[in-house]
Amino acid sequence: MGPSEDRSEIAFFDVETTVPTRPGQGFAILEFGAILVCPRKLVELENYSTLVRPADLSLISSFSVRCNGITRDAVISAPTFGDIADKVYDILHGRIWAGHNILRFDCVRIRDAFAQINRPAPEPKGTIDSLALLTQRFGRRAGDMKMATLATYFGLGQQTHRSLDDVRMNLEVLKYCATVLFLESSLPDIFTENSWVSPNATTRSCSNGQTSPEGASINMVTPSPSMMLKKDSIPLSSTTNQTKEESHPIFSFMTHSTKAAVSTSVGSNITRSDPFNMGSLSNEMEREFTLPDVTRVENSKPEMPEASYSALLSDGSSSSMGYLQPDDICISSISASLVPFYRGCQRIGLFHKGVPFQICCTGLKVLFGISTKFVDHVGRPRLSFVVNASPNLCTVLDACNSTAQKLSLDSGSSSDWRHVVTRKEGFVNYPTVRLNIPTAECGNVAIYATEIYQKESSGALQRLIFSKFDAAELSTLFFPGTSVDAFFSLDPYDYQQSAGIRLVAKKLIIHCRS
């Protein structure tokens, strides 16, 4: 197709790259794959894929191979990026670009690759980033927003982390998501905006304060003005009087997503000049999906169902619940392996008897209250507090630490490892651990992604829901000497030459002093 002809096709593309293992090391493209899709019929018109030989083959480390399976031998006879630059430019330039997380990753890699060969990079007519788009419109009903998770949710098979397979899967995921949203928008009174919320949730209208019980196994309270009951779902807007173009599932999907992203008030009229303008959504994605936040919004919906307090503790050793008390953990049964994580990369996962596990500890004493020393990528405090660590908990965490650290080293990581248990000099008999309280985005509002409860002296358990992010208010709950029952996950991380295990609180039960 010549440059003067209409280039209305959507170019779904994906790159597979090496994984940097030391400071200052960049990415090298190992594979490029793309399909051209008709925007009216959503059918694949053309496809192109090729392996790419990087200038420095040593960049393909064992960890890189684990991420996408592309070895040095596989690319030794492949063309360089300079050899395929004309083809890549012809596919991408002047077309709409589409892909999963392309704004933060693939687009950057393409521009870097053209800069390295001193050639102008292709420019898009518009960009559709399905990570930002689906986060805004499809919400968390399918779990986290990784392509592999979305594909599993819709029964599309496993992600291969190869370019051509991934872009085809990306298109299919968009079709499925668009169809669901299209059906929901056609019957808003039946497919309610929070139809995927747990049936055990109890909600209160922000406008009238009336409680609508959908289950009452745990009482919900409002301990202070800024704490309130809040729906866990991202609202799904419905529209009427759509044009023919907007009624097209994919176009309707993209158009209303863009409107929602740039709308400043409910019911505001937005002039739709470019339905593919993802600027606002990309800004939101920048805020929410930055890699330094090891615990991102995927931790915002703890999997433990509502239950009585006694059930929470008695079921702590149940494999179906996923929470084990330290005494129930067999040290020799702790293992670690690499699991899919982000953009084809892998991270370390910890297992007990071959099953992912989380820990439940009762009666932990808060030694240092809420810390706001560190901030995330948008300047919001990263909340955490320090508790004492019992000998049996230390034994378990030490074993997890050793197992994960060994796998990290075997995988080629050169990051400095930080022990999950802190033993300060002179206080070796008083080990401590830090529990992290992750945050999540609910629309434009930051909320705590940890379920927080209060246990009254009578034994009654009440859930605290906060209407806004307020670290100062949270500090009044977690002060030194407070007794806390904690349900937490063990999340290995490796970022900016620092690696270790973070303890991420999924559920916290604060014991009120009598």
> Catalytic residue positions?
161
Element (H, E) at 323: strand 323-324
Phi, psi of 499 (to 5 degrees): -135, 160
Residue 288 structure tokens: 């929410």
**Partners of 96 in beta bridges:** 10, 126
User: Is residue 178 within 8 Å of residue 250, measured between CB atoms?
Assistant: yes
Backbone angles phi, psi at 365, to 5 degrees: -100, 130
d(CA 291, CA 187): 38
In contact, 76 and 53? CB cutoff 8 Å: yes
The Cα–Cα gap between 366 and 474 comes to 13
Stated as kind and residue range, the H or E segment containing 334 is strand 334-340
Please give the radius of gyration of the chain, using alpha carbons only, rounded to the nearest integer. Answer: 25
| CA–CA dist 214, 203 (Å, integer) | 8
Residue 36: strand pairing partners: 11, 46
Please report where in the chains the tokens 């009087």 appear, as a residue.
241
Tokens for 395, please give them.
Answer: 């034994």
- 34: which 2 tokens? 């793309």
Structure tokens given for 470: 């307020």
The rounded Cα 286 to chain-centroid distance in angstroms is: 12
- Is residue 469 within 8 A of residue 380, CB to CB? The reply is yes
Gap between the Cα atoms of 102 and 193, Å rounded: 29
